[in-house]
Amino acid sequence: MYLADDVMAITKVPLTCLIVDDSAFMRFHLRRMMDSFEGVIASEAANGNEAIREYGRLKPDIVLMDIVMPGMEGVETVKRICDADPAARVIMISSVSYKEKVAEAMAAGAKWFIPKPVTTEELRRAIESVLAATPASSLGGPDAGPDASPDARTICD
């Protein structure tokens, strides 16, 4: 399965991804989905502290992050990553879809939210939308167009 050609044209190949979830099963499941896309390299972190360390080391193109994790939860982790790198592209993937929690994650810097269980098609669409909304200056490609990030009210309804 391919990510859209126009998205791949504005990103570097390979596309790098950091998967952050305290569930080893969920990390495995998301990695399998990411591996089904051509030109994607995925890394993993099991908690917020690992995510911050790995983000700093890898500077991935996309981060897939759970909201509820022991220790530092996803919202705080997103905030710290985005404070350090405002261009970070974080997609929240969680079974917690309370409007308040999703709005908190978006306010912290997340670009998209997908409720669990997630399908490969939902993940592909979210990644394409987030990458397409990224300013060309941070991707090194042609102008990607207007910001397509959803607003928290829309994704919870």
Beta bridge pairs of residue 44: 19
- Helix (H) and strand (E) counts in the chain: 8, 5
pLDDT digits (tens, 9 = 90+) for 80-126: 999 999 999 999 999 887 889 899 999 999 999 999 999 999 999 99
Strand order in the sheet with 90-94: 40-45, 15-20, 62-65, 90-94, 112-115
In this prediction, what percent of the chain has a pLDDT beyond 70?
78
Mean pLDDT computed over 39-68: 96
Class of the CATH-defined domain 5-156? alpha beta
User: In terms of pTM, does the model score above 0.75?
Assistant: yes
Q: Is the dihedral of CA 13, 17, 40, 44 positive or negative?
A: positive
Mean pLDDT of all residues belonging to the chain: 83
Mean pLDDT lowest for which of 9-23, 28-42, 46-60?
9-23
* Residue 73: both structure tokens together: 């939860």
- The pLDDT assigned to 88 comes to 97
44 φ/ψ angles, rounded to the nearest 5 degrees: -135, 155
The CA-to-CA distance between both ends of the chain, in Å, stands at 29
| CA atoms 109, 113, 118, 121: torsion sign | negative
Q: Which residues contact 83 (CB under 8 A, 6 or more apart)?
A: 109
What is the share, in percent, of the chain residues with pLDDT greater than 90? 71
Q: In the 3-class helix/strand/coil scheme, how is 10-63 assigned residue by residue?
A: HCCCCEEEEEECCCHHHHHHHHHHHHCCCCEEEEEECCHHHHHHHHHHHCCCEE
CB atoms within 10 A of CB 70: 9
pLDDT range class, residue 13, cuts 50, 70, 90: confident
What confidence tens digit (pLDDT) does each residue in 57-93 have?
A: 999 999 999 999 999 999 999 999 999 999 999 999 9
User: What per-residue confidence (pLDDT) applies to 154?
Assistant: 30
- In whole angstroms, give the CA distance from residue 123 to residue 40: 13
Cis amide prior to 115 (ω within 30 degrees)? no
Q: What was the pLDDT predicted at 96?
A: 81
> Domain limits of the chain?
5-156
